[in-house]
Structures are given as C-alpha cells and as structure tokens.
Amino acid sequence: MESAPTREAPRQRAAIRPQDGWFLVLAFAVIGADQAVKWLIRQTIERGDSLAVVWPLKLVHVTNSGAAFGMFQGAGPLLVMTSILGMIAIVVFLFNPSFAHPLMRLGLALMLGGAVGNLIDRVKDGEVVDFVKVPNFPAFNVADSAITIGVLVLVWAMLREPQPSQPGD
C-alpha cells in the first residue's frame, strides 16, 4: 500500500502582528529619549565641558565622528551604510517567527532604537553626541546604552532558549 505524499507545514513568514506593537513603541521611545537628552545636553553644556553629577558619574558634552570607543573616526559614510544595513537586519529578525520569544524581541527593539538614535545624529551632524562619562571608560549616550543592553538581553535570551531536540537524542 502506497502512502500519500506528505506536505511540509507551511513556513511561517515574517509579519508585524498587533501584539508586536509594543516592540516598535519601545524602539521609538529609545529614539525619543536619546534625541531629547542629546538636545538638552547641546543646550545646557558647552562642548568639551563637564558637570559632576554624583561620583563617579559626570555629564559631558563631547562628540564622536567614529563608532564605539572612538574607532573609525571620520568614516561617516561607511558608518551610515553599516547602520542602515544593521537596522534592516534587526527589523528582519524582529518580525521573524524564529525570534518570537519576547526577550529576544525586547533586545532587538532596544538595538533598533539605539541604532536609529545614533544614525539621526550621524546623518544630521556627521557626529554623535556623547554625554555620560564614568572613569576609565569612553563617554556614551542613551542610544549606546540601549544597543548594549539590547545585545546583552538578546544573548541572554538565546542562551536560555531551549534547543530543539535532535532525532536520536
């Protein structure tokens, strides 16, 4: 007796679902907070000056035409292109069913908001405003913090995600 050919289950496609709206809200909140604080820093602290908040934290007004930790200074067009490519990848992953775990999407949303926040500065001014300074560490901003926290959350979620069992296990 011949068995009927079996059909593979249809592959889930990336889609923006209503319940995913809060991830976009979070990304936009990061962008808004980042741009608002950078505007406030530009208005209240002269470039190069600092304001002691509470030891060891200082608010500073410095700019960075490079990437993280001052790498790639002056490589604006390259950084804009890599930011755009990174944001496209994040959006694809954000709405990919393989990354459906809320912690994974939380990390991706934080990374997206941070990437857009810094891209706005880079396109508008050719440099990013950094304003948080702690000893022995480069100055950073809200967008940098969101990206860093997002990466940590994403890695943590991926490490916690149960691996599918393999045949023969």
* Other Cβ atoms closer than 10 A to 154: 22
Instruction: Catalogue the E-assigned strands of the chain.
Output: 50-54, 57-64, 128-133
- CA-based nearest residue to 146, from 38, 4, 21: 38
- 3-class secondary structure, 50: strand
Taking the C-alpha atoms of residue 134 and residue 150, their distance in angstroms, rounded to an integer, is: 21
Q: Select which of 20, 121, 125, 144 is catalytic.
A: 144
Question: 144 catalytic, yes or no?
Answer: yes
Residue 127: is it exposed, middle or buried by C-beta count within 10 angstroms (0-12/13-18/19+)? Answer: middle
Question: 169 catalytic, yes or no?
Answer: no
Q: Select which of 20, 49, 121, 130 is catalytic.
A: 130
Q: Which residues are catalytic?
A: 130, 144
